[in-house]
Amino acid sequence: MKRLWKWLRPDKHPAIERNRRRFAEFDRDRPIENCEFVSLDTELTGFNHRKEEIVSIGAVRIRDLQIVIGDNFFSYVRPTKSIPKDSTLVHRITTSQIKTAPPLQEVLPEFVDFCGDALLVGHYIALDMAFVNKACRNILGARMENPCFDSMRLAYAYQEVQRRSYYDAIETRMSYNLTELSKRYRLPLFAKHDALEDALQAAYLFLFLVKRLQAAGCVTLRDLDTVGSGSPF
């Protein structure tokens, strides 16, 4: 059955072709501050992994390690199935907002182009990218090639730096949830469960962590990738 789907996969969309060309040759030894990032978040229909669909995408650009707040991306997405009531509550998205929203077929290519050659940032970004790339394969014919950085993993790395330099007691029960981390680091707090606000929250967290990891000797993207690939202890 799976093989059959492969045959049915559409031709590569021009947006995803551009995306693949951008990352064909990618220099991981660039200094972090010279890179462009896009912090993103997606909201999903519900918690049932198989049937979940994206209902909104929010993203904001980070250039010169500064958040370019006007350069953002936000859209609701009209799901193919009707959304269950419980998730409506979580996202504060009303049915009418969803009904008038464009379909993913329209939003996704624009999103891929918005990301351009930026590196992607998100809190537990693997989950967001799993859904984005699933949709990309189905709709655009291939996945996005942008390298990703997980602010959650960078937070592990930062805590590890802290532990090593200050011999702090290990906080094994520390929460790495986006809101809890933001509170812990005293960042400005944003509304939860809004894709753009969560993307902003992750962007603030990313700036906070990168500045500190830079101070701890993390200079290039490769360095960041290395520290960010660790797991908590």
Partner 1 sequence: MASGNNSRAVAPTLVLDFFRRILPFSELSAATLADLAKQCVIAHYPKGSIILRQDLTEVTHLHIIQKGGVKEYIASDDTMVSLKDFSGEGGSFGALPIFSGKRADFNVEAVEDTFCFLIKKEAFLEVVRNNPRFGKYYLEAFSEDTVGAVYSELREATVRSRGEDAFYLFNLRVRDVINTLPETVSGRETVQQVGLRMAHLRVDWLLVKDETGSVVGTVADRDLRTKVVAEGLDYDTPVVEIMTPSFRTIPAQATCFDALLRMMREQVDHLVVEHRKAIVGVISAHDIIVYQGAAFLYPIRDIESQRRISGLYAVSQRLPMVVRTLLTEGARANNVTKVITLFNDNLLSRLLRLLTDEIGPAPVSFCWLNLGSEGRKEQTFKTDQDNALVYEDPQNGIDPYDVEEYFRTFADKAVEHLQACGYPRCKQKFMASNPRWRQSYSVWKGYFEEWLLHPIPPEVGLARIFFDLRPCHGNAALGESLREYITVHARGNDRFLRYLAGDCLLASPPLSFMGDFIVEKDGKKSEGLDLKVRGLSPFVNFARVMALRYGISETETLARLKGLTEDGHLSQALYADAREAYEFQVQLTLVHQLKMLEAGLDPDCFIRPVVLSDLERKTLKETFAVIDRLLEQVQETFGLSSNALS
Q: Which residues bind partner 1 (CB under 8 A)?
A: 61, 63-75, 107, 110-111, 113-117, 185-188, 190, 196, 200, 204, 207-208, 211-212, 215
Shortest approach of partner 1 to residue 72 CB, angstroms? 5
Residues 91/56, Cβ–Cβ less than 8 Å = yes
Shortest approach of partner 1 to residue 153 CB, angstroms? 19
Query: Which lies closer to partner 1 via its Cβ, residue 149 or residue 190?
Result: 190
Query: Which lies closer to partner 1 via its Cβ, residue 31 or residue 116?
Result: 116
Half-sphere exposure of 25 toward its Cβ, with a 13 Å CA cutoff?
A: 0
Shortest approach of partner 1 to residue 77 CB, angstroms? 11
Query: Which lies closer to partner 1 via its Cβ, residue 9 or residue 211?
Result: 211
Query: Which lies closer to partner 1 via its Cβ, residue 70 or residue 81?
Result: 70
Query: Which lies closer to partner 1 via its Cβ, residue 38 or residue 83?
Result: 38
Task: Kindly state the tokens that stand for 164.
Answer: 């090593």
Angle at 61 (CA atoms; ends 189, 49), nearest 5 degrees: 70
Closest CA to 103 of 54, 152, 172: 54
Rounded Cα distance between 82 and 86, Å, is: 12
Shortest approach of partner 1 to residue 116 CB, angstroms? 4
3-state secondary structure 100-131: CCCEHHHHHHHHHHHHCCCEEEECCHHHHHHH
Shortest approach of partner 1 to residue 89 CB, angstroms? 22
Shortest approach of partner 1 to residue 6 CB, angstroms? 30
Query: Which lies closer to partner 1 via its Cβ, residue 46 or residue 147?
Result: 147
Q: How far apart are the first and last CA of the chain?
A: 40
Q: Are strands 119-122 and 66-76 parallel, antiparallel or unpaired?
A: unpaired
